[in-house]
Structure 1
Amino acid sequence: MHDTITLDKNSSFIYQATIHEPTIFSLSVPNIYNDRIIGDFIVYSFWVEPGKTILLKGNSGWLIKGLHGLASRSDRYELRNSVLDSLDKIYKKKWSEALDSRKKQKGSELNNDESLAVYDSITNTFIVSEPKNYYGLYLINKKLTTKIFEIQQVKKWISSYPESLTSTYLGKEIYSKISGNEMSQIGQVLPDFEQPDTASNFIKLSSFRGKYVFVDFWASWCGPCRAENPYLIKAYETFKSKGFEIVGVSLDKEKKSWLKAIHDDGLTWTQLSDLKGFNNEVAKRFLITSIPENYLLDPNGVIIAKGLRGEQLMATLEKLLTK
């Protein structure tokens, strides 16, 4: 949900919203000097619980005060800038301590992979040690937005959380992502979906049954995706007469940009998009968090390969369709 807030004559505002569970709010403030925008918007994020009031004061570094944290404690705490809440403070403190400890053991600075390993370890520990905490769900969901997770581990984590948390919007979203991950693995029948093509006609994936189908998630703004198109064109021209089809699913938001990329790259196969970007309903359903991504389906709709790049598609099709 997006909304615009207008300040009153005292440069203040009161904003009320109806929520049913802890929710992250982000306040975007224009970076203005002398009535001119001089940089990116400044964004302040904070958690709000149902029935609670958050007071924001526009001085002293944008001090944010609240009476209750996500653990529903009665002690007062303060939040500054991008620090989300008291639990996030604890989490970041543990992460910082673990990082310092690891640096001392190594005797030097950590590289990115080592830092990420420490971060991942602290995240996992927090998730396991706080099974009654909504923030644990938040961290689980964050992990599911990356490709670095073990689905069985995620299922184990979520199973330890009470129904009072897993029945929330975030809990249901996690279960939906788990389902999407499981049904888009090799050996599974990729569930049917329907989206509009470039002429706004709704096309079903199942309408291509009986053929080998390459489902390609891409976007006009994605350089690596566009770099794959010459390989796809070669494969399509070689095997389209032998029962091979490509279905492109774009994560574009602007139809004009989408159509231009199709034209400029010479893509002649079916192209679909709901123009919602990464909120594309199909991408969300199959937990597509980065592109390019793709699935190769057999004539029965079973996933037989995924993540093919460059000449890999041609090589795979030659084995399947060349006699």
Structure 2
Amino acid sequence: MKRTIVTLIILALGVPLYAQQGYTLDVKLEGQAGYKLNLSYVQHGRRKSDTARLLPDGTLRFTGTIEEPVVAVLFNSNPTTRFQMSSGGMFIPGPLLELVLEPGTIKATGTSADSYLATVKGGPMNAELSQLKTKENPLVKKKWELTKSGAQAYRSGDTTLSARLRKEGDALQTEKENLRKSYITKHPGSFVSVYLLGTMYESYTPQQFEQAFGKLAATYKNTFYGKYAAAKIESAKATALGRVAPDFTKKDTNGQPFTLSSLKGQYVLVDFWGSWCGPCRSSHPHMKALYEKYKSKGLEIVGVSEEKSPDMTTNENNWKKAIQTDGIQWVHVMNNYGKETQDLVQVYGVAGFPTKFLLDKEGKIVFKLVGAGEEGDKELDGKLRDLLGE
């Protein structure tokens, strides 16, 4: 990545990298007419969500100011960009277009149905990210097709085919992660590397992650993404097996405060999920069976939901509707409540949904599971059997 001594001095002083410089993002997607685009990114530690202005030629234009490089994703309302598991219910979100907001004009062109594959031009950081995307996009596209086929098979009751397609998709995901790891290793001075590392915590052991972060140049460690990766290291230490789970207080479905440590003396399964998350909700029947089996033996489940809407009322409605629809009658809190002061996804280092932590009677973490599927179910079954018996 191109960088200058001036850049290094600015970062060393910890002042804004771009001093409120402006950007313009023009997006033109074939077949986008009638659908909305939403630009989402984090600035000053808070997620922002912007809508575009429609130009006469059909281009959707976003404008704004930034103080440092920001990676944004584009959400597309086109229904072909997600897989609907049930009418009006849960869905599997498709891949999203990633791009870097940097000073100047950025252009993204492609098709609406495959907006995540759009070509992005404008600025040195987008040039770097685009080089990586050229290699990994074929893998992403193939995995998305497998995901949709697997979901269709699961919906029709063919669990054998669904499991096989999931394994094929997992292999492609591993291949993509290896591409990103290689990029990080080869480009330690790149902003893109700092961003990528923060998104890939689950692809490393805690020790490997800390080592990879240590090898990155200091140039961009003072950005949000550098600080985020550093926070991952600390959260990994806080949620390592054998450590007491970080305590928290969040509002439950009745608006009453619930504190995790109030369950000390019981085995507790803390489940990070979301109403929007297909794999999370497909795991609920198995969790209900476990709860019925072990509740009388001292097991409690605490669902921690992370909702995606910028509107809190929408989040509450989606959350409560999913609880009722799925019939999951255990303790529930929503991370969006008081997220500014205590973000449990960050505190617990959650990098994917669902993620489950099993706590013993002293509140110590004895098991962690990321993702959903038969293999993980068997691991969780075995751990509960060891602790609570048949």
Q: TM-score, normalised by structure 1?
A: 0.68
CA distance in 1, matches of 2:322, 2:66: 40
Matched with 1:224 is 283
Q: Within 5 A, what are the aligned runs for 1:91-240?
A: 91-92=132-133, 118-144=175-201, 147-219=202-274, 222-236=281-295, 238-240=296-298
Aligned 8 A contact 2:53 2:61 in 1? no
Q: 1:126 to 1:227 in 2, by over 3 A?
A: same
CA RMSD, 1 decimal = 3.9
Aligned 8 A contact 1:217 1:248 in 2? yes
Q: 1:250 to 1:311 in 2, by over 3 A?
A: farther
Q: What SS class does the counterpart of residue 248 from structure 1 fall into?
A: strand
Q: 1:283 to 1:232 in 2, by over 3 A?
A: farther
Deviations 1:232-257 (A, max 9, x none): 12211x224xxx54323234564445
Alignment pair present for 1:53 and 2:105: yes
Q: 1:293 to 1:90 in 2, by over 3 A?
A: closer
- Give ranges in structure 1 of 5+ residues lacking alignment: 32-37, 71-84, 97-110
* 1:181 positional shift: 2.5
CA distance in 2, matches of 1:204, 1:265: 24
* 1:3 positional shift: 1.6
Deviations 1:141-190 (A, max 9, x none): 2322xx33222122111112233311100111111222222322211111
17, 33, 53: which one pairs with 2:64?
17
Deviations 1:189-247 (A, max 9, x none): 111112111111121112223443332334555111332212112211x224xxx5432
Matched with 1:317 is 388
Which amino acid in structure 1 is aligned with residue 128 of structure 2? L
Q: Which moved more, 1:187-196 or 1:251-260?
A: 251-260
CA distance in 2, matches of 1:266, 1:260: 10
- Give ranges in structure 2 of 5+ residues lacking alignment: 1-47, 83-94, 138-167, 309-314, 370-378
Q: TM-score, normalised by structure 2?
A: 0.58
Matched with 2:128 is 87
Which amino acid in structure 1 is aligned with residue 186 of structure 2? S
Question: Which structure's CA Rg is the greater one?
Answer: 1
Which amino acid in structure 2 is aligned with residue 48 of structure 1? L
* 1:272 positional shift: 1.5
CA distance in 1, matches of 2:107, 2:382: 57
Q: What SS class does the counterpart of residue 52 from structure 2 fall into?
A: coil
> How many residues were matched structurally?
275
Matched with 2:334 is 273
* 1:300 positional shift: 2.9
Matched with 2:358 is 296
Which amino acid in structure 1 is aligned with residue 191 of structure 2? Y
Aligned 8 A contact 1:296 1:306 in 2? yes
